[in-house]
Chain A
Amino acid sequence: MSAHAIETKDLGRVYKIRGNKKESKVRKELVALENVNLKVERGELFGLLGPNGAGKTTLIKILTTLLAPSSGWARVATHDVHQSPNLVRPRINMVSGGESSGYGLLTVRENLWMFSQFYGLPSKEANKRIVELLKIVGLEDRLHTKSSDLSTGLRQKMNIVRGFLTDPEVLFLDEPTLGLDVGASRDVRRLIRGWLDANKSRTLLLTTHYMVEAEELCDRVAIINKGRVLACDTPANLKRNLQRDSIFEIETSSLNGLSNKMLADQPEVKKAVLTEIEGGARLELVLQEESALASVINILTQKHIKVIRLSKHEPTLEDVFMELVGQRMEDVEKEESSNASQ
């Protein structure tokens, strides 16, 4: 049996969606996850990075025993999540960003105490841990505030505390800083890092679509898009693969008929992503050789496009994502949401 905190093999999930009754009685299939193979070591802070709709939440739901896989298998804390959910559940916990769990009529302490009891924590110990964890996230003065009186950010902090309270072997955080301000996000990140550093046998799987968060926190990151894991390594290694290339960002006065293809067809241009912005366009380039920049500038000049700003930068996870997917993450999200609304 595997000693990994989390392990998946050829994991897949297909949703069957009921279509409009008038159109068809046949259920449509939506592939949410496909052949996901992951191994997360104990003590690791593992990140799942991908746009909305990439399959991150589906994966977390399978790993937390809330959803059955359609194919393959997954183990958490060495137990199969589908075959032995009762062995997995005492060892895990999960918090989702923007969740509205708990009861508004109860105070922060009461809500957290209630959830701690579902995990069998001794009542006195639960109350002590609640106070200590609330202090860490700067919420100790809200101990006796009704949770309905909390702002969204403070409520999210309370939810985060709920996840840590039961001291799980494996903790799943699904977009934990979604909707939080800068200060609150920093508090949450401090708690995450502190919790892992305090005990090396704990494991944390975090999903996010904030590149900076993944880069700052995670030991390893899996980049996921359209249900498939495209790459999995440390943030440094993922970026190192790009470091052989040169990354440029150019802001221009207009598009003037310029297309991604025109640029990508140039020799030594590995990737070109053109985005329309207010007052012009932004061009992100991954070049195998810096000399290729000359041919790009040449095209812009021919098209009478004025260069407003040109900068070269070190690769980030955003660049890694762009290299793997061919689009910026925010563009993928825009595309997904426009497809969903159709």
Chain B
Amino acid sequence: MQVNDSLALPVSEKARGWKLFLKTIVARAYPRIIGQQREKSWIFFEIFLPMLAVAAYVYVYRAIGAPEEYVGFVVVGGAMTAFWMNVLWSMSSQLYWEKEQGNLALYIMAPNSMMAILLGMALGGMVATALRAIAIIVLGSLMFHVQYSVTSFTQLFLVFMLAMTALYGMGMMSASLFLLLGREAWHLSNLAQEPIYLVSGFYFPIKSFNFWVAAAASLIPLTLGLDAMRQLIFPSGVSFGFLRVTIEIGVLIILCVLFLAGAKFLLDYMEKLAIREGRITESRG
């Protein structure tokens, strides 16, 4: 083929508006959904290792004669840690990574919305992590004979989707924040990992804490999401619940709005600051 012939080919109409927004989300989700599966080490790091933590808690609970429901709590909590890890390490630090890679400037320069880029990252991360979470639930349930009794599939689905939206909204918000903080972001991630495991009740019901500690921990969307899910899928889950499921759904809706609005605000601020001060493109070439 002649160079000029192929280069002269016209590009038909390019998508704009909502169509471009959706195309961007799908395109940015693609590397996470497809690309991440290519690195087979995820099976070890994201399924086998969390399963060890789950198993440790299960054996401790059984050894001390804790109620059998706790085994189910641990398995579900273990599955949900996958989402927390994904938000903390992949979502929050992603824009900083993109900057280091040179992708961030290309994203800003393209006609797409940066919010669509972040939503694509979130959607991709959520789908890819759901695979890991399902694997942990299935393996944990089979290994430890967990019994489920779902009282409302609709509420369960709603709680899960709200918890995910709020959680990834928080991830999107912290992505801009971490970018502004630069390298300090890694320390923040390290700092947040273990305390959140504790106060969010990944391995035990947060009702065990006093009210105010549990209320403060509820700012992390997984805390109430996990609490509500446990109430909805275990026969005696309600007795271990922190608040009524309907109240938890209400709080999760508020968190969704807060975090998504916060993400949009911080993203716009980050972009303006970057363009004004040249902080995205540090080169003085």
Contact = CB atoms under 8 A, between A and B. Distances in A.
Contact of A198 (B8, B105, B285): B8
Interface stretch (B26-34, B68-76, B80-88, B213-221): B26-34
Contact of B275 (A54, A67, A117, A174): A67
A101 B278 contact: no
Interface string B100-118: 0111011111111000010
A175 to B, nearest CB: 9
A73 interface: no
B226 to A, nearest CB: 30
Given A103-B31, A103-B35, A120-B16, A68 B11 contact: no
A120 B6 contact: no
Given A103-B31, A197-B4, A89 B111 contact: yes
Which applies to chain A's interface (DSSP): helix, strand, loop or mixed?
Answer: mixed
B225 to A, nearest CB: 29
A197 B8 CA distance: 9
* Among B108, B111, B280, residue most surrounded by chain A Cβ atoms (within 10 Å): B111
B106 A57 contact: no
Interface string A262-279: 000000000000000000
A66 B109 contact: yes
Interface string B199-238: 0000000000000000000000000000000000000000
A194 B2 CA distance: 9
Contact of B102 (A96, A106, A120): A96
Given A16-B277, A117-B27, A106 B34 contact: yes
Nearest to B2: A194
A118 B277 contact: no
A90 B111 contact: yes
Interface stretch (A108-116, A232-240, A285-293, A297-305): A108-116
Contact of A114 (B9, B12, B27, B111): B27
A283 interface: no
Interface stretch (A132-140, A210-218, A317-325): A132-140
A94 B109 contact: yes
* Among A115, A117, A125, A164, residue most surrounded by chain B Cβ atoms (within 10 Å): A117
Determine the interface band of chain B, counting residues with CB < 8 A from chain A.
Answer: 35 or more
A248 interface: no
Contacts of A99: 102
B30 A114 contact: yes
Nearest to A133: B6
Contact of A190 (B3, B14, B36): B3
Contacts of A55: 285
Interface in B1-24: 1, 3-12, 14-16, 19-20, 23-24
B152 interface: no
A65 B275 contact: yes
B106 A194 contact: no
Nearest to B10: A167
Contact of B9 (A100, A115, A129, A146): A129
Contacts of A1: none
A58 B12 contact: no
A89 B34 contact: no
Contacts of B107: 118
B239 interface: no
A182 interface: no
Given A125-B11, A191-B7, 20 more contacts: A32-B284, A65-B108, A66-B109, A67-B278, A67-B281, A68-B276, A96-B102, A101-B101, A106-B31, A115-B106, A118-B106, A119-B111, A132-B9, A133-B7, A135-B1, A135-B6, A166-B14, A198-B3, A198-B7, A199-B8
13 contacts: A15-B278, A15-B284, A66-B280, A67-B275, A67-B278, A93-B109, A96-B102, A100-B101, A101-B103, A101-B106, A103-B35, A105-B36, A166-B11
